[in-house]
Structure 1
Amino acid sequence: ETVSNLTLMALGSSAPEILLSVIEVCGHNFQAGDLGPSTIVGSAAFNMFIIIALCVYVVPDGETRRIKHLRVFFVTAAWSIFAYTWLYIILSVFSPGVVEVWESLLTFFFFPICVLFAWVADRRLLFYKYVYKRYRAGKQRG
């Protein structure tokens, strides 16, 4: 479930603007035009404001919802912060205003690593199994 949520749903929902950006970049001799970045920023703004607002609005009054997989949530939140930091670094520090091939390839390979970390967190494969049961969250007694 975690891997499918991070891969299929994310890529499926972002496929139109990714394809549009690729077509524009290829049509402008690998120079960014106005359409590609604007489409991506607009899609991100729509997802950030409208989709989250609708998710909050449809929960009935008096009912609360909780995050089911908190470990996976923390992993994806940490990777999101890292992604914005990395984007700033490659666009402002390493090569201002230009995305080099090694930067794009490294950025592309961060995604499978993020999915792997989320899967490991979902399966509790890191340190969690080595912690004694009495110290685990939710297993405390009286």
Structure 2
Amino acid sequence: MTDNRTVDEIISDFKCHDKGLILPLVNEYTWPLGARIFLYFFGLFWSFLGVSIIADRFMGAIEMITSKTTKIRIPDENGEKKEIDVPVWNNTVANLTLMALGSSAPEILLACIEICGNNFEAGDLGPGTIVGSGAFNLLCIIAVCVVSIPEGEVRRIASVKVFAITAFSSIFAYVWLIIILKASSPNVVELWEAIITFLFFPMLVLIAYSVDKQCFGRCSRTQPDMTTEKTIGFSE
């Protein structure tokens, strides 16, 4: 049976004939299936390796920046001045900005690259990757942190109010996505929605920092027992 279709019509039968940022390089639909599987797995592994190297260096740089300290002089019990090291970055601000950016950089970059190359329309990977990463952090990472505590030791939240704010914001982010994507403008993110969503982040950092500095009343902090207990902050 003779196929009278043109080459373009035959190529259109293959879903991956012209999609992708890098692969496929050419229309390899006529290549053996094994060769194509090897090519795509190699490209996937190469991409993951590159992302892991960049993310590792990026996180190392962020940790070096946020761990920077400076010396200040304070009076001791005898009235003499002594020098102590204090962190330059506030722990709350560092966790919510640079540390969160570093750990979420791969999925954020993936979403930005995809949406810019897709005529500013949501693709199959970007939004799903960000939401999946957030859900994984919220559920799986917290579960692992709880289970991994050594027997006989205790972990306590250093600032309950700051933790409550970040926990509320984590849940509110999903609720806000439902509002703007299902109720306000179904399947479309309008400009005003994008601006408000972006402004939520500096608002969260400002409120969390203010609470951490006890601007709205004394913040409840635990006093750890140095033998068996340790205090922890909060994750993103």
Normalised to the residue count of structure 2, the TM-score between the two structures is: 0.51
Give aligned pairs, total: 131
Structure 1 unaligned regions, length at least 5: 130-135
Measured against aligned partners, the alpha-carbon deviations of 1:91-119 in whole angstroms (never above 9, x if no partner) come to: 11110111111101110011000000000
After superposition, the Cα gap between the structure-2 partners of 1:48 and 1:78, relative to the gap in structure 1 and judged at 3 Å, is closer
Measured against aligned partners, the alpha-carbon deviations of 1:68-112 in whole angstroms (never above 9, x if no partner) come to: 111101111222232222111111111011111110111001100
Task: Report the alpha carbon displacement of residue 137 of structure 1 after superposing the two structures with TM.
Answer: 6.4
Q: Confirm or deny that 1:66 pairs with 2:156.
A: yes
Q: CA–CA distance in 1 between the matches of 2:112 and 2:209?
A: 29
Q: CA–CA distance in 2 between the matches of 1:9 and 1:137?
A: 24
Normalised to the residue count of structure 1, the TM-score between the two structures is: 0.83
Q: CA–CA distance in 2 between the matches of 1:68 and 1:137?
A: 8
Task: Report the alpha carbon displacement of residue 51 of structure 1 after superposing the two structures with TM.
Answer: 2.2
Task: Report the alpha carbon displacement of residue 6 of structure 1 after superposing the two structures with TM.
Answer: 0.7
Instruction: Return the match for 1:7 from 97, 101, 108.
Output: 97
Q: Confirm or deny that 1:51 pairs with 2:141.
A: yes
More helix as a share of residues = 1
The aligned residue for residue 30 of structure 1 is 120
Structure 2 unaligned regions, length at least 5: 1-90, 222-236
Q: CA–CA distance in 2 between the matches of 1:19 and 1:137?
A: 37
Identity over aligned residues, as a percent?
A: 60
Indicate the larger mover: 37-46 or 67-76. 37-46
Indicate the larger mover: 88-97 or 111-120. 88-97
Instruction: Return the match for 2:193 from 99, 103, 106.
Output: 103
The aligned residue for residue 170 of structure 2 is 80
Q: Which has the higher Rg, Structure 1 or Structure 2?
A: 2
Indicate the larger mover: 55-64 or 14-23. 55-64
- Which secondary structure does the structure 2 equivalent of 1:65 belong to? strand
Q: CA–CA distance in 2 between the matches of 1:96 and 1:76?
A: 27
1:114-133 alignment, distance < 5 Å: 114-126=204-216, 128=217
After superposition, the Cα gap between the structure-2 partners of 1:45 and 1:86, relative to the gap in structure 1 and judged at 3 Å, is closer
More strand as a share of residues = 2
CA-based RMSD = 1.9
Higher relative contact order (CA 8 A, sep 6+): 1
